[in-house]
Amino acid sequence: MSKLLVGIIGPKDLVEKILNQCRPEKMEYIEYKLFIIQKVENTRDIDRRLLAKCDILFFAGQMVYEIYLEDSVSSDEETGPISINIGYDGSALYKSLYELAMENNGMLSLFTPFTIDVLRENEVLNSLKEVDLHMEDFITIDGPSTYTTKDWANIHERYYKNGESVYAVTCLTSVAEELKNRGIPVKRVVPTHSSINVALEMVYAQSDILIKNQLLTTAFLIKWKETDRRPKNRYNFYRQKLKFEEIIIDFCEKHNVSLTFSNEHQANLYTNMFIAKEFTNNFTSFSLIKEIEDKTGNKVFIGIGIGNETSNAELSAEKSLKFAESKNKSCAYVSFQNGDISGPLLTEDQSPLTFSTSFDNELLKEISKKTNLSAVTISRLMFLLQQNNEENLTIHQLAEAFDVSLKSASRLLNQLEQTGFAKVIGKEQPPGRGRPRKIYNLMIPNSFSKDV
């Protein structure tokens, strides 16, 4: 099994400290990639495509972590690696203040009042109580994640030169180095051995969960259907069957996948979820579909199921196979453990839709009852709106997304309009010639109330 990739982000000395505290027995299925930050603002220079390849991101600094989170929100990333951060808590500050007191022979007046960044005022106060310091002994510096090393250092320096502080305490490595170069007395706060261990335990726990999920059984039920309407030639059938079997055997050999042929038209493949995600592009497309169709000239339907055991995975695959067959064109659907169905899986340039098949969802049941449409249809509509981040669509857009005829899409939107869940808000002119297309605004709520 491939190892999990943990990206460790932070200044060199803290990254090395983390590596020194890693427990070897917990690293059997983990490998790491280091992202060394010279200055806090360099976090934005890291290629996010490299970060996205990691399963877990481990941050050695509070501000570095906040920059990553804010950039993730601004880039509209819906999913990404699990992120874990080492906390710069009160104990880390207490350790630094204790060291300052020892360095100054216990004379608090030699390093107070001081400026302190990143940490919240209440965290500072709790630590000060332990060394007999009070509110008037420190000045907290608060700033956005957009602040650079020089921005933070300038604030510390201004208080120092104005005589309002005699010392700078910082949680930022690059700021400590900058202030030292400017000749300003500075003490750097570093995470404690204990806080690093706590964060590492979180990494180990999340790794165990990811590894367990990767080993979930994934079943592929692959069914081919003859498309030749002429009188059947048994020899041609055998040739097509041999082509289908050869493609499947080559695929299974390449990806080390278990295989059985349940009948002349169907192959059953079994693997774990980690391998399955690799050759389905994380369950968004499946190139094997086109290969089978091109080489045999026949339609192919694929049901993918995930489960704790082979039997559960097969049942889920059978459910998703029925959705694939209902499309009457080559495609695949996948059924996840939570009951959601995603599909059709076609090409990389067309994203599948995910929808719920659980009828315990009160929102789906209520809207389904009011619109006289199935809960599955409503679920797919809701996902389509979320995926496009748009409440408006045309009949053509709906037909393409649902892979149905324009007539069926028109009927669906009319049904929603008549029941108050859609309204026409305008028209758009298609490229070239053609009648203007109605633009519908869908009013399907994310949460349902009795007033709807």
One-character DSSP codes across 379-409: HHHHHHHHHHT-SEEEHHHHHHHHT--HHHH
Flag the least confident range among 9-18, 70-79, 207-216. Answer: 70-79
The CA distance from 297 to 363, in Å, is 43
Amino acid at 120: R
In angstroms, the CA 364 to CA 381 distance is: 11
Q: What are phi and psi of 261, to 5 degrees?
A: -105, 110
Two tokens, residue 12 = 């060199």
pLDDT: which is higher, 452 or 302: 302
Q: Are 324 and 303 in contact (CB under 8 A)?
A: yes
**Cα–Cα distance measured from residue 396 to residue 407, given in angstroms and rounded to the nearest whole number:** 10
Maximum distance among all Cα pairs of the chain, rounded to whole angstroms: 101
Report d(CA 345, CA 331) in Å as an integer.
Answer: 6
- Give the lowest-confidence range in 104-108, 160-164, 357-361, 410-414: 357-361
Planar angle of CA 438, 341, 414, nearest 5 degrees: 20
Band (pLDDT 50/70/90 cuts) for residue 448 is very low
Say whether 337 sits in a helix, a strand or coil.
Answer: coil
The token duo for 362 is: 């009160």
Which position has the higher pLDDT, 255 or 133? 255
Tokens of 79: 């999913």
Nearest Cα neighbor of 204 from 368, 60, 84, 34 is 84
| Position 79 pLDDT exceeds 70 | no
| Average pLDDT estimate for 6-29 | 91
Give the pair of three-digit tokens for residue 163.
């005589």
Mean pLDDT (the chain, rounded): 84
Confidence of residue 357 (pLDDT cuts 50, 70, 90): low
What's the pLDDT at 77? 45
Would you state the structure tokens that stand for residue 217, as one six-digit string?
């059984």
| pLDDT value of position 247 | 96
Q: How far is CA 127 from the centre of its chain?
A: 36
Whether residue 125 has pLDDT greater than 80: no
pLDDT at 195 over 60: yes
370 pLDDT exceeds 50?
yes
The residue assigned the tokens 């690059």 is: 174
Task: In whole angstroms, give the CA distance from residue 356 to residue 365.
Answer: 11
| Phi, psi (rounded to 5 degrees) for 218 | -125, 125
- State the pLDDT confidence band at 4, using cuts at 50, 70 and 90: confident
- Check whether 359 has a pLDDT greater than 60: no
Here the tokens at position 43 are: 């976090």
What's the pLDDT band for 424 if we cut at 50, 70, 90?
confident
**Are 10 and 37 in contact, with CB atoms under 8 Å apart?**
yes
Residue 2 to residue 28: CA distance in whole angstroms: 11
Task: Over range 21-42, report the average pLDDT.
Answer: 90
The pLDDT assigned to 433 comes to 64
Q: Please give the residue that has the higher pLDDT: either 163 or 363.
A: 163
Q: What is the dihedral of CA 246, 250, 256, 262, to 10 degrees?
A: -10
**Mean per-residue pLDDT for 433-451?**
67
Q: Hey, what domains does the chain have and what are their CATH numbers?
A: 4-86+195-212 (3.40.50.2300), 90-190 (3.40.50.10660), 216-355 (3.30.70.270), 362-442 (1.10.10.10)
Pick from 195, 119, 173: nearest CA to 128: 119
Asked if 283 and 334 touch (Cβ cutoff 8 Å), the reply is: yes
| Residues sharing a CB contact under 8 Å with residue 311, sequence separation 6 or more, in sequence order | none
**Contact 164/114 with Cβ under 8 angstroms?**
no
Contact 55, 4 (CB under 8 A): yes
User: How much is the pLDDT for 432?
Assistant: 62
The closest of 100, 72, 116, 66 to 86, measured between CA atoms, is 66
Q: What is the pLDDT of residue 317?
A: 94
Distance in angstroms (rounded) separating the CA atoms of residues 91 and 98: 10
Of the ranges 91-100, 179-188, 190-199, which one carries the lowest mean pLDDT score? 91-100
pLDDT tens profile 315-354: 999 999 998 988 878 999 999 888 888 888 876 666 788 7
Over residues 135-145, mean pLDDT? 86
Main-chain phi, psi angles of 8, to 5 degrees = -105, 120
- For 66, the token pair is 């906040």
pLDDT the model gives residue 74: 46
